[in-house]
Amino acid sequence: MKRISLLLLLLLTVGIIGFAQEYDDPQVQADLLFNEGNSFLRAGNFAAAVTKYNEALDIVKDHRYYYQKAIALLRLQRFEDSINAFNSALQHGSDMETVGLGLSGAYMHRGEELFSAGNYSGAITQYKNAIEINPDPRYYNRLAIASRRSNQEAQAVEAFQKAIELDPEYAVAYAGLGGTYVGMQRFDDAIEMYKKALELEPTMQQARVGLSASYTAQGNEHLNRGRAREAISVLEEAVEVNPRHHQAHLLLAVAYNRTGQPQNAEQHARSAIEYKQRGRLGGEYFELGVALKNQGRRQEAIRAFEEAAKDPTYRRNAEYELEELRR
C-alpha cells in the first residue's frame, strides 16, 4: 500500500513539473494571450483584443497574431495600422489567399479616409494597392473618381471602363464615365453613358441630371455656333429628361427667340424663372421681354425688361429695349 502511494505521489509530481514546464513554454504563453484576444474580439471589445495580441507578439512573432490584430484594428477604423499588421502577417508566414481580402479592404478604407481629407493623390495610391490584391469594380470606380478630382481625366476614363468591364451592369460606373466625358466636352459619349446607366437603373437621379446636363451643354455648343434649330432639338431632350432644368429652359428661350417662335420662347423663359433657385434673373427676364415684344405685348415686355435691367450684366441691353418700347 505504501509503495502504491509513493508511486502515485511520484506520478503527480512529474505531472505538475511537466505542466509547469509546458506553461513556461513561450509559445504556450503567447497562445493563451492570443486566445484571450480572440475572446475580446468576439465580444466586440476591439481595443482590448489589440492589447492582448500585442502582448502575445511581444513573446512570439506569429502570423496568426498579426492577422487577428489587423482585423481588430480594421474594426477600430485604424486603417493604416491595420495595413501594417496585415503586411506583418504576410512577412511571418501568412499567405495572400488568407490575408488578401482583409488587406485590400484596409487599403480601400484608408483610401476613403484620404479622399475625405482632400488628399486625392494619396487616395489613388491606396485604391491601386487594393486593386493589385483584389480587382474589384468598386475599387476601380473609386480610383476613377479620385482621378477626376486630380484632373487626371484619361486615367479616370480607363478606371471607369475597367469597372464596367468587370461588371457590365454597374450603373454607377456608367454614370461616372458620363460625367468624365462631360468634363472633356465629349457630349455624345456622355449621353450614351448616361442612357446606359438609366437603362440599368431607371430611377438613378445622378444619371438623369447628368443626361439633362449633357444635352444642355450640347445645345449651348450649337447656339454658340449659330445652329439654333439643332440646339432646340437637343435642349428639348434635356427638359424631357429633367423638366426642372433651369439652364435648359433658358437656352430654349434663346433658341426659340432666334428662330422666330416667340410663344415657345415665352413658355421656356417663364419656366427658367420658376426653376432658378438662386442668383439674378437678368437673362431669363430679358428673353421673356424679347418673346413678349415679338408678340406685340408691349406693356408686358416693358415690365420684363425692367426686371432684366436690375441685373448689371443685362442692364445695358435691357435699357436699350426699354428705350425702343417707350418711344
Residue closest to 237 by CA, chosen among 218, 212, 217: 212
Residue closest to 90 by CA, chosen among 114, 71, 62, 113: 62
Main-chain dihedrals φ then ψ at residue 117, nearest 5 degrees: -85, 0
The per-residue pLDDT for 98 is 82
Q: Which strand (E) or helix (H) includes residue 240?
A: helix 228-241
Exposure string (b/e) for 166-193, b if CB count within 10 Å is 16 or more? bbeebbbbbbbbbbbbbeeebbebbbbb
Cell numbers given for 135: 480587382
Question: What CA dihedral angle connects 251, 254, 259 and 260, to 10 degrees?
Answer: 140
The per-residue pLDDT for 5 is 59
CATH fold for the domain made of 25-94: 1.25.40
CA–CA separation, 212 and 240 (whole Å): 8
What is the DSSP track for 37-68?
HHHHHHTT-HHHHHHHHHHHHHH---HHHHHH
pLDDT string in tens for the chain (327-residue length): 555 555 555 545 545 444 445 556 888 998 999 899 899 999 999 999 999 889 989 999 988 888 888 899 999 999 999 999 888 888 888 888 888 889 999 999 999 999 999 999 999 999 999 999 999 999 999 999 999 999 999 999 999 999 999 999 999 999 999 999 999 999 999 999 999 999 999 999 999 999 999 999 999 999 999 999 999 999 999 999 999 999 999 999 999 999 999 999 999 999 999 999 899 999 999 999 999 999 999 999 999 999 999 999 999 999 999 999 988
* 3-class SS of residue 1: coil
Q: Please list, in sequence order, all residues whose beta carbon lies within 8 angstroms of the beta carbon of residue 51, skipping any fewer than 6 positions away.
A: 37
Position 77: which residue type? Q
The per-residue pLDDT for 143 is 97
Tell me, yes or no, if the pTM score tops 0.85.
no
CA–CA separation, 250 and 272 (whole Å): 5
CA–CA separation, 25 and 146 (whole Å): 50
Taking the domains of the chain in order of start, what are their residue ranges?
25-94, 100-152
The per-residue pLDDT for 247 is 96
Dihedral (CA of 246, 251, 254, 260) sign: negative
Cell numbers given for 123: 487616395
Position 164: which residue type? I
The per-residue pLDDT for 95 is 81
The per-residue pLDDT for 11 is 47
